[in-house]
A and B are shown apart, each in its own frame.
Chain A
Amino acid sequence: MSLERPKDRDSAGVQRHSADEIADLLGDLVIGREEHINAPGYVIPPDAVQETLSLLKNEAGFDHLSCVTAEERADRYESIYHLKKFDDATQEVSVVVPTAKDNPVSQSAEPVFRTADWHEREAYDLVGIDYEGHPDLRRILLPDTWQGHPLSMDYDQERPQVVSLREGANPLQEDHRDDQDSETMYLNIGPHHPATHGVLHLKATLDGEQVADVDPDIGYLHRCEEQMCQNGTYRYQIMPYPDRWDYISAGLLNEWAYARAAEDLADIEVPEYAQVIRTMGAELCRIAAHMLAVATFALDVYGDFTAIFMYGIREREKVQNILEDLTGQRLMFNYFRLGGVVWDLPEPRDEFFDKTRDFLEELPEALEEFHDLITGNEILQARTIGTGVLPPEVAKSYGATGPVLRGSGVDYDLRRDDPYGYYENLDWDVCVEDGCDNFSRLLVRMNEVEESAKIIEQCVDILEDWPEDERNIQANVPRTLRPDDDTEIYRAVEGAKGELGIYIRADGTEKPARFKIRSPCFSNLQTLPEMSNGEYVPDMVASLGSLDIVLGEVDR
């Protein structure tokens, strides 16, 4: 049983470092210690970032830069590097890099972790910290013409930022036709293009039909989600927002990310019954999300709204009906509450269980049909096997997670490695494929649907037998939550696309002082150039489809 493995590995292989051992390892680099709820924090000077992270990566095995949080405090700027291990996600370390108010310059972590590239660009864009040695420090979410950094303290929210088209650089305007000597062709793929799954702009340089370089340009769907969460109260006002990040029916998975972080922050114990319902709902969402991922991937490779797309949508529809019965909503569920869920299973319960079981019964047949149509098809295999290759080390360095990472042969799933909910008590497996290509990522998703079905089935059995007088759906949580001043937490769950993390810093009020979202799609999308450079345009489109990004979550 795979769930036992992290514990085995702990005793057998992965060394667990105590906080003091790490402090010894870092030696003089540490100028202070902090205690975050999830991990020990080490304060280091801004010119020692690379050295510290290299030490932690190479000597202590912290090879996963999960997230970079930047924030402005009363007297300083701060970049926090949240590190984990791919071999053991429960081992975490926070590296805190304070920089001076008048000169917020900090060393870039990009040479050590390539994922820091985009994360630091975002930090620069929204908070205004300069990263020295960063290869390409420009705005990422906001337009180039934006004035100021919206999450910094002196930013005037009232000031209008109207920039006419003439003032701003129009990325589509540049005329490359007169460049007679050039061997390559510059092509704007998106923001409106059938294959970009939303508003993504790929600046592609083509050499004939092959991709010489591609630079994803994101931010078209930026909706200030972090800021909105900072303006909401913990208890009720934040929970509806996660539904809107990854809106491809992965809502409950996203809600769980916030619920987990906030519950650990405020020390709330969730009743077991609610955990089972949460687990079931989350896995239903995962099936719905993966179905759409498989369907749209097929759409990208097949090139038309074909049978397989409609079959995928058909199965997803059944899941959505069940979720509608459970939560009352089809897309923006808002079903979780801190300390549990908002209401119990729908009455009559038997009907709900029957409906869910019917769906699970029909699912293997539908998946069989999918395998016949997609994975068994020679042309699809010729198109996807060996294309969009993402070697495991590269994937790790970019902080790729979820099916993308597992398709590269890295056995990393937070549901098992950093257990939450009711997953520990259930019998299921983590799906890993080591082909590292588009086909592997497709297989991982299809296999995960089967595993999710297994989880749901067990949850339904458990819920059916649950004694009627012990159905406690919510813990007793105060109406207004005020976590202690200056407590910080970073917690992640396994979302549909990968590791969905939330960083919250409390300041003693009923609203978070800093709310940072670590979006799996954001990190996953960074690997696109790595996967598609040198390949054909159709393969780049297939790779993009296999990453399964949702722009709502990339841009937040």
Chain B
Amino acid sequence: MTPLQQGPILLPERIANLIGLGDGLLGQVVGGLIAAFLIANIMLAMTAVAGPWAKRKITAAFTDRIAVNRIGPFGLFIIIADAVRLLSKELIVPEGVDRPAWDLAPIILPASALLGFAVIPMGSGIQLADPETGLVFAFAVASIASLSLVMGGYASNNKYSLMGGLRAVAQNIAYEIPLIVTAASVVIFTGTLQMSEIVAVQREALISITPALTIPQWFAFVNPFAFVLFLVANMAEVGRNPFDIPEAPTEIVAGYQTEYSSVYFVLFYLGEFLHIFLGGALIATLFLGGPAAPIAALEVIPGFVWFLIKIWAVFLLTQWARSAIPRVRIDQLLDIGWKGMLVLSFANLVLTAIIVGVIV
């Protein structure tokens, strides 16, 4: 990356330059579309690896099993087999579903997550847009997911779905506030909502031993407390154990997705994984220095690889939690959210504000 005065060159601009369309409107539109197509496909490809294959392999490792190993190397071709299987299934539309809402819900969920990736700096110059309010935009679009869950739950004409949808809303409200308040404490440090700036601030040295062995000023190191808070709130936000109560297979069958089959089910599934990755991307950007290498000596590895490593680490964490941690009850979840997380996150915010005000 070669940062200019106005900030880094974004991916659409590069593409426009590459195909010789220049800075004009046409260049912006075409470049933007191609860039968006590329980023969306990277994310979808990752989800395809994560969903049918990595998830199985990881869970199997935790539970003493082998998992897929018959089709292709390491069972990787199961991805294709699963895709064929899922897409060739019959789409069952139950009687009495609320049609437009029922059809829209599975589309909104992955769409909201994909939108969020637009402002994430992924390193190696891969960033679709860098508005000044990037962080706000990411949270705003990610929150649309709740709408999809409640739509699906309500429109399905099924009591289990309804309960799942209601649980999802209650949970998301309880955890989105701590999530955003914790993110705000990072903003106090950086003084900007722009994603590229947040990353840039973290590149400064926290402890410098030698030029090659410099520990950067990642906010996970600066404020580990906020980092943990954000991790936990994010777990609830993406609905993974111990907070997977909107689905809660042993209680309410599959929650809001009970009535969905075939392609709609795939879309829901896809959306969930995209949300986990988006959560990982936000954690990486806010707390782990975005696409930066942990020490200067490792900068030979491209930033995009570091970025992927970081969001996969978060994905791994969710899978670990899934295999090992029991699910809390809905009332306990709300207790933790409103009485614990909210208070802690505000305490963190106030403390950060004081420290930044006094020291900086």
On A, residues with C-beta under 8 Å from B are 185, 187, 193-195, 209, 298-307, 309-311, 314, 373, 377, 379-380, 382-383, 536-539, 541
Contacts and interface: CB of A to CB of B under 8 A. Distances in A.
Contacts of B253: 193-194
B65 A310 contact: yes
Given A185-B159, A380-B326, 14 more contacts: A300-B250, A302-B241, A305-B59, A306-B62, A306-B324, A307-B62, A377-B325, A379-B325, A379-B328, A537-B163, A537-B252, A538-B329, A538-B330, A539-B329
A65 B328 CA distance: 38
Query: Counting chain A CB atoms within 10 Å of each CB, which of B163, B326, B332 scores highest?
Result: B326
A485 B323 CA distance: 59
Given A301-B327, A382-B332, A314 B64 contact: yes
8 smallest A-B Cβ distances: which pairs? Answer: A310-B63, A195-B250, A303-B327, A380-B326, A302-B326, A379-B326, A307-B63, A307-B323
B94 to A, nearest CB: 14
Contact of B63 (A305, A379, A383): A305
B251 A538 contact: yes
A316 B149 CA distance: 39
Query: Counting chain A CB atoms within 10 Å of each CB, which of B62, B63, B163 scores highest?
Result: B63
Nearest to B249: A194
| Size bin of chain B's contact surface | 20 to 34
Nearest to A176: B159
Contacts of B331: 209, 536
Contacts of A303: 241, 244, 248-251, 326-327
Interface string B318-351: 0000111111111110000000000000000000
Q: Main secondary structure on chain A at its contact with chain B?
A: helix
Contact of A302 (B163, B252, B325): B325
B271 interface: no
Nearest to A545: B250
Given A314-B64, A382-B328, A537 B251 contact: yes
B242 interface: yes
B250 A194 contact: yes
B241 A304 contact: yes
Contact of A306 (B159, B248, B322): B322
Contacts of A304: 241, 244, 249, 322-323
B113 to A, nearest CB: 22
A209 B325 contact: no
A302 B159 contact: no
Contacts of A377: 325-326
Contacts of B328: 379, 382-383
A541 B251 contact: yes
Interface string B48-69: 0000000000010011110000
A300 B326 CA distance: 9
Given A187-B159, A303-B244, A307-B63, A536 B330 contact: yes
